Amino acid sequence: MGLLDGKVVIVTGAGRGIGRGEALECAAQGASVVVAEFDPDAGEGVAKEIVDAGGAAVAVSGDVAEAATADSLVATAVEQFGRLDALVNNAGILRDRTVAKLSEDDWDAVVRVHLRGHFLPTRAAIRHWREAKTPGHLVHTASTSGILGNFGQTNYGAAKAGIAAFSTIVAMEGARAGITSNAIAPTALTRMTLDLMPQEFRDARDEALERGEFDFFAPENVAPLVAYLCSDESSHISGKVFGVQGDSVEIYQPFTSVAEIRGDGRRWDPSVLAGRVDELFTESGIVPGAENMMAKSRHQILR
């Protein structure tokens, strides 16, 4: 018995990395899987892995930021497996540059793949669930780069923060129909992140693996949480953002107001405001200048 017996799940960007792990885990939990992937060889390879292991899978190649591809994923799930229960939006790319050096193409490409690539499959799935009058589960892929910020990733971080907001709003919109929507902020070593890690970190990891220790940064470690969020066991959870890496699962608090100053019932005068804004920092303990929140959480990411 698996958590997803009889269920049908679409995973985008499932040809490698985190998405591959999610597709394999959903299949291991009993789901039939639509493996959506830009690179046809990679997608078909993962579908074959699932089928060879006794599961059910079909690969669909294409760009998930195109409506025709997004719609065809849902159509394939219904035609091949008779239903759709969950969609995991995972496909993504990086084009890192500081904002002064960032080209318009690199801005557009990243925002497009992540935001359109989440919006269009989600819309197709929700339209299907509304028509079929069935509930469904959505899992979106945000990032600590969007939640905490990360140097050199304005395009990627903006898109990932947008995905967290997108997920929260979809959760509100879907609640009455029993549609859940949650986001994850994963960390794993994949083609996307391996080159970003310092050599000494990679050496330390290789040595730990040689000693037979748990591979904290294996992309497959992200998948159990995602399989759970695709299952009816998590039907009471929606609109949340989870951190996931290694054996760690975290929950992020949404942006929330923590301090306030009030005027005297009229619009503020800027010069009066200038003398009062620091009260917000004193009251909340928030540092006024730019902070590297990612660096503050490094102990979790590189532990």
Ligand X SMILES: NC(=O)c1ccc[n+]([C@@H]2O[C@H](COP(=O)([O-])OP(=O)(O)OC[C@H]3O[C@@H](n4cnc5c(N)ncnc54)[C@H](O)[C@@H]3O)[C@@H](O)[C@H]2O)c1
Binding-site ranges for ligand X (CB under 6 A):
12-13, 15-19, 37-39, 42, 63-65, 90-93, 113, 117, 141, 143, 186-188, 190-193, 219
For residue 187, CA distances in Å to 7, 103, 118, 183, 244 come to 27, 26, 19, 13, 7
Of 90 and 167, which has the nearer Cβ to ligand X?
90
Question: Residue 120 Cβ, how far from ligand X at the closest point, in Å?
Answer: 10
Which of residues 11 and 30 has its CB atom nearest to ligand X in the complex? 11
User: Are 185 and 252 within 8 A, CB to CB?
Assistant: yes
Q: Where are the alpha helices (DSSP H) in the chain?
A: 17-28, 40-52, 67-81, 104-111, 117-132, 144-147, 154-174, 199-210, 223-229, 270-274, 278-284, 293-296, 298-301
Q: Which of 7, 32, 145, 156 is catalytic?
A: 156
Catalytic site includes residue 228: no
Structural tokens at position 199: 């050599």
Closest CB to ligand X among residues 20, 128: 20
Q: Measured from the CB atom, is 168 or 187 closer to ligand X?
A: 187
Closest CB to ligand X among residues 78, 192: 192
Work out how close the CB of 141 gets to ligand X at its nearest, in angstroms, rounded to a whole number: 4
- We find the least distance from the C-beta atom of residue 211 to ligand X, in angstroms, to be 23
**Angle, in degrees to the nearest 10, between helices 104-111 and 154-174:** 30
User: Which of 32, 143, 145, 181 is the catalytic position?
Assistant: 143
In whole angstroms, give the CA distance from residue 31 to residue 53.
Answer: 13
Q: Is 160 a catalytic residue?
A: yes
Minimum distance between the CB of residue 70 and ligand X, rounded to whole angstroms? Answer: 9
Min. distance of Cβ 148 from ligand X in angstroms? 11
**Catalytic residue flag (residue 143):** yes
CA dihedral (109, 114, 117, 123) in degrees, to 10, reads -140
Phi, psi of 12 (to 5 degrees): -90, 150
> Tokens at residue 71, please?
């719609």
145, 160, 238, 240: the active-site residue: 160
Report the catalytic residues.
Answer: 143, 156, 160
